[in-house]
Amino acid sequence: MKKRDYSYTQNRELSWLKFDDRVLKEAKDNTVPLLERLNFISIFTSNLDEFYMIRCGSLFDLTLIDEDDWDNKTGWSPQEQLDAIFKATKPLYEERDLIFDEIAKDLRKYGIVKHNFNELNSKFRQYATQYFYENVAPLLSPQIIDSYHPFPHMANKKLYIYCILERGASKKKNSKEYIGLIPIPYSLPDYVKFPDTNEFILMEDLVYAFAEGIFTNYRVKYRTVAAVTRNADINLQDTPIDEDEDYRHFMKNILKKRKRLSPIRLEFYKSNDSTYTKYLRKELGLHKNQVFLTQSPINLDFIHDFIKELPGDVTDDLTFLEFTPQRTSQIDPNKSLFKQLDKKDILLFYPYQTMDHFLDFLKEAANDPEVLSIKITLYRVARTSRVIKYLIEALDNDKEVTVLIELRARFDEKNNIHYAELLEEAGCQILYGFVDYKVHSKICTVTKKHNGTIKQYTQIGTGNYNEKTARLYVDYCYLTSNQEIGDDATEFFKNLALANLQGHYNKFLVAPTSLRSGIMNLIDKEIAKAKNNQPAEILMKMNSFTDRRIIDKIAKASKAGVTVKMIIRGICCIIPGLKDKTDNIEIRGIVGRYLEHSRVYAFGVGEDRILYISSADMMTRNTAKRVEIACPIEDKAIKARILEDLDIMLKDDIKGRRINSDGDYECIQQARHINSQEFFQQRAIDEMKDVKVKKDNPNFLNSVVDKIKSIFN
């Protein structure tokens, strides 16, 4: 076997930590409004939580297996990877604490104050005390741990006040120590806001302050706030489903099992005295390198709700200027969307353009008497979903509706189970996909019969059918009446219904069968061009890049002289800029107000360039373990618009960063002063302004021509 070359690759988990550090550094940017900087710390924390629950969880599982499972980017064992992760995480906690403290001090200037109980003035102290005894104390369930009160199950990410208690004689040698735990109930609010102010105290700080009064007849010798992070990566292949078992019921049981998976991390807020916390670590079976101390709150989810409670005159200066996703000039809201699609393809660019257009497409399909069927894949949908509403509306109007709903969309399982039951009760044909493959594709197809002719209208997306995330994630939504794409869409849904992964498609590249091989073939064509001294270029945008086979192929393309440009938001396992290996590869990433989520793959130069949009990243989990679609964009105007978007992103020197030959992020010195996300916001606004000007002024074009002539004269 050929020896693996690790010189141009890096571990995916450490790459993810570098990305999350990049998110955290946005909180240091003084040009970002203060509350948005606080929000970036919250995003960083949520990312880190999920990282430990999923990525570290899966590595932990691998350490329990006898057979070796080496990382194909570094050659490290699972335990070596975990040790490197734990070591790399500690500086991130320290950095977060410093940034949080700095922002908290700046927010005090605006009257936004997070208090500790011991710093409260008499008025606030009286209010907090009364609130505690009336609203908090009755809900608490403190516990002493001894031979009659065994160590309890500590729920994932739940907050606990952990205490060392003394009882007996006051002299140390005659006193006896006990462990005390106070779980913070989920039913309690995250914080208590003081009346007529923007000042507050966190619930854990309030309960922490009253520990003495909770454990009556004991002296509190030591106390801290603790939370355990548990493995949330359930391997369904190790939990076979019985032939006669309902799949939804099976998934409900799996979700219950997740709550009791192994601990992977222990966090302390305020204090981590190893003398006193050693007991807790040992009970959870954790090594000391899995224990982390934070001086900023463990749970920062409260930030979102707190910002919503603040009055507008406060938030105006401390948050981003409000932006409303725009309607697109491509669509006339007064005409049938299907008739408009008969004439041209349409591209939407979220969140700069509104998802309402796609919802209008679904609503029209639900109520059009000529529509026969609607088929759609659902991976993540909003808690209150208009997509579900219109699908049920279509069922009420006797349309055939088929929905592939992925019950294994991590952390959205309960929501998807709920909607699967709701749709099935309404008469929808529900599909659940495949045993070993998640269906991650974003496709919707509508079949219509007009004047005896059957026609397909298809939507392909890079993001979910989720109204909430469509306002936060950068994604493409492509609508077309192209019959070849419609035929592929019909074939795709037929194969889903027949559990067939080996389908043949004329236009689509579909994982797990043809996506990876199709991409590699396109890379090979660019390599062949470069070897023949022809212009050759590869341009890719994705969330993460980890597929070792495609990484090696991209490195080969670089060696052959192919120009490779990549825009990668998250994990990137290839190291660019290494002499004679990856020196023709340039990689950039953008972290800003919105989450970059679109996937685009382009090959070649000029008019012959081939371009796909996709739901898939170039990750092994996408190319080999999921059902994904890459759809070609052949409409010249739409292809040009997407390439223009990518060009703007590559020029971003405000929120963009370049990955250097050490695999780290560095600032881009271009002096262009382009913030791509702000550019796309303004472009969306300007395009709709132009539509209004044209509508209000029929002689608009003539006036523009006259203005241009006057400039040249």
Binding residues for ATP: 47, 473, 569, 597
- 92, two tokens: 């991130």
Q: Is 261 helix (H, G, I), strand (E, B) or coil?
A: coil
586: enclosing H helix or E strand: strand 585-590
Question: CA-CA distance, 368 to 642, in Å (whole number)?
Answer: 31
CA-wise closest residue to 677 among 413, 493, 473, 397: 473
How far, in Å, CA of 571 to CA of 594, rounded?
Answer: 17
Phi, then psi, of 534 in degrees rounded to 5 = -100, 155
H helical segments located in 51-121? 57-63, 78-108
Annotated binding site for Mg(2+): 380, 410
Paired tokens of 32: 């970002």
End-to-end alpha-carbon separation of the chain, Å?
72
Count of other CB atoms within 10 angstroms of residue 708: 10
SS3 at position 283: helix
* C-alpha–C-alpha distance, residues 611 and 602, integer Å: 4
Cβ-count burial of 612 within 10 angstroms (0-12 exposed, 13-18 middle, 19+ buried)? buried
Are 570 and 16 within 8 A, CB to CB?
yes
Strand, helix or coil for residue 159: coil
Q: Which residues contribute to the annotated binding site?
A: 47, 380, 410, 473, 569, 597
CA distance readout (Å), 657 to 12, 33, 77, 412: 18, 20, 31, 31
The three-state secondary structure class of 345 is: coil
Cβ atoms 41, 26 nearer than 8 A = no
Q: Are 285 and 265 in contact (CB under 8 A)?
A: no
> What are the backbone dihedrals phi and psi of residue 439, each rounded to the nearest 5 degrees, phi first?
-95, 110
Nearest-angstrom CA–CA distance, 629 and 559: 29
Residue with tokens 């919105």: 594
| Cis amide prior to 512 (ω within 30 degrees) | yes
Per the CB < 8 A criterion, the answer to whether 509 and 612 are in contact is yes
- Alpha-carbon separation of residue 442 from 220, 445, 565 (angstroms): 55, 10, 25
Task: Reduce the DSSP state of residue 647 to 3 states and report it.
Answer: helix
Q: Which residues contact 480 (CB under 8 A, 6 or more apart)?
A: 341, 345, 346, 457, 458, 459, 460, 486, 635
Distance CA 122, CA 131 (A): 14
The yes-or-no answer on residue 440 being catalytic is yes
Inter-residue contact 537 to 610 (CB < 8 Å): no
H-type alpha helices, 111-265: 122-131, 203-209, 211-214, 247-258
What's the residue count for the chain? 713
Give, as one character, the DSSP assignment of residue 149: B
663 Rama sector, left if φ>0, alpha if ψ -120 to 50, beta otherwise: left
Q: Contact, 590 vs 656, CB < 8 A?
A: yes
Are 557 and 540 within 8 A, CB to CB? no
Q: Closest by alpha carbon to 316, among 28, 34, 678?
A: 34
Looking at residue 296, the DSSP 8-state letter turns out to be S
Among 287, 357, 440, 673, the active-site one is: 440
Residues with catalytic function:
440
